[in-house]
Amino acid sequence: MPTSDDPKHMMASLVARKLRFIAVLSVIYLTSYVGLTVLAGFARPFLAAKALGPVNVGFVLIAANYVLSWVLALIYVRVANETFDPLVARVAVALRTGRAA
């Protein structure tokens, strides 16, 4: 039975946590991207509406999509540095020494 000190168990746990986190970020981004695409296909008058001077709603939403992708990337980097990297270091030590750090 694997224990929390077992390197294979630690690695499986790390991969599972990372996949859950990446899945959430992916769903957030894809919802935004697909939502914008649906709007472009079915709500052209809405996207063509002026938002700020000559800038229309479509441009604002496209710019927001770019900002969202950068924000999600920065969130991932922060979580990876603070959460995943220490876990990777523990797994590496456990694999080198045969036990958890």
Residue 25 placed within a domain: yes
8 Å CB contact between 79 and 21? yes
pTM reported for the whole predicted model:
0.83
Residue 93's domain comprises 7-97
Q: At what angle do helices 85-97 and 7-42 cross, to 10 degrees?
A: 150
Residue 19 placed within a domain: yes
pLDDT of residue 1: 44
CA–CA separation, 29 and 70 (whole Å): 10
Residue 32 placed within a domain: yes
pLDDT of residue 3: 58
pLDDT of residue 43: 95
CA 10 to each of CA 1, 22, 27, 62: distance values in angstroms, whole numbers, following the listed order: 13, 18, 26, 40
Does pLDDT of 101 surpass 70? no
- DSSP code of residue 100: -
How many structural domains comprise the chain?
1
Tokens coding 82: 């603070």
Residue 2 placed within a domain: no
Q: How many residues does the chain have?
A: 101
Q: To the nearest whole number, what is the mean pLDDT of the chain?
A: 92
pLDDT by residue (tens digit) across 44-53? 999 999 999 9
CA–CA separation, 61 and 53 (whole Å): 15
pLDDT by residue (tens digit) across 38-82? 999 999 999 999 999 999 999 999 999 999 999 999 999 999 999
